Amino acid sequence: MTASLAPEELREYFAGRLPERLAEIEDACRAARDAGWTGQPLRTFHRLAHSLAGSGATFGFPEVSETARDLEHLLAGIMEDGSSPGEPEMREIEGFLAGLRRSAAS
Amino acid sequence: MTAPVLRRILFVEDDPDIQVVAGMALESLGGFAVLSCGSGNEALSRVSEFSPDLVLLDVMMPGMDGPATLQALRRQPATAGIPVVFMTARVQAQEIARYRELGAADVIAKPFDPMTLADTVRSIWQSLHS
């Protein structure tokens, strides 16, 4: 729980939450991959990326919102396409997750 | 005749961190009474008891999403007239048009500035009653 709405308090609060949120997204990525990039696991992965995109900047992490938004859009394309991501898309997904890990570690 | 005062907000949001910051922003900066619900189903089960003046509703939620929750509110006579404002990171023009067609009074974009959220909600309320 953040003590106040002061920017530094919000950043500290969210910095404490990021590792757990990132772990949730990485679990969702594995589940989506294991489910063949279809169905509820893929939708959950997409929703979690969307949620992080909508929250990062609110807590003073605009780079988290940007990276999560890019991931969200990529996943939306995969959902629309209805086929598994190829090598380039997998590298992009890993790149976005690596970016989020860096934000969580900083 | 003076416009009614906005006092009670039902906030429907599955993201626990957004619940925390928006709840604080609306209560401490806006002076509103806020009931936070983590899902559309929870909101529907508690809306009559709380009797909000306005509903602030996330769009993308697991299970019953924002649009489905709005439609359910519109189907109940007791809640059909409560203005609903969506909060979403999906703010493309065609999506906003769709939300309005569904009956949303307005849309607030995410990410939002917690320092101005209460003022934004109050402005929306005032424009609804002007």
Average pLDDT for A3-24 = 92
Q: Flag whether the ipTM exceeds 0.95.
A: no
Tell me the backbone φ, ψ of residue B109, rounded to 5 degrees: -80, 145
Instruction: Spell out which residues of chain B touch residue A25, defining contact as CB-CB under 8 Å.
Output: none
Q: How far apart are CA A81 and CA B130, in angstroms?
A: 45
CB-nearest partner of B89 from A10, A54, A62: A54
> What is the distance of C-alpha A16 from the center of its chain?
16
Q: What is the pTM of this model?
A: 0.91
Q: How far is the C-alpha of B123 from the C-alpha of B130, rounded, in Å?
A: 10
Name residues whose C-beta falls within 8 Å of residue A80's C-beta, 6 or more positions apart in sequence. none
Minimum distance, in Å, between the CA of residue B110 and any CA atom of chain A: 5
Task: Mark which residues 42-81 of B lie under 8 Å from A by CB.
Answer: 60, 62
Task: Calculate ∠ Cα B50-B52-B53, nearest 5°.
Answer: 160
pLDDT for A60: 94
Tell me the pLDDT band of A2, cut-offs 50, 70 and 90: low
Pairing of strands B33-37, B54-58: unpaired
Count of alpha carbons within 13 Å of B13, Cβ hemisphere only? 26
Question: Which residues in chain B (95-124) have CB-CB distances under 8 A to chain A?
Answer: 110-115
* Per-residue model confidence as pLDDT tens digits over B115-126: 999 999 999 999
Which amino acid, A100? L
What is the arithmetic mean of pLDDT over B75-88? 95
Question: Which one of A25, A45, A55 makes the best mutation probe of the B interface by having the most chain B beta carbons within 10 Å?
Answer: A55
Contact B17/A59, CB-based, under 8 Å? yes
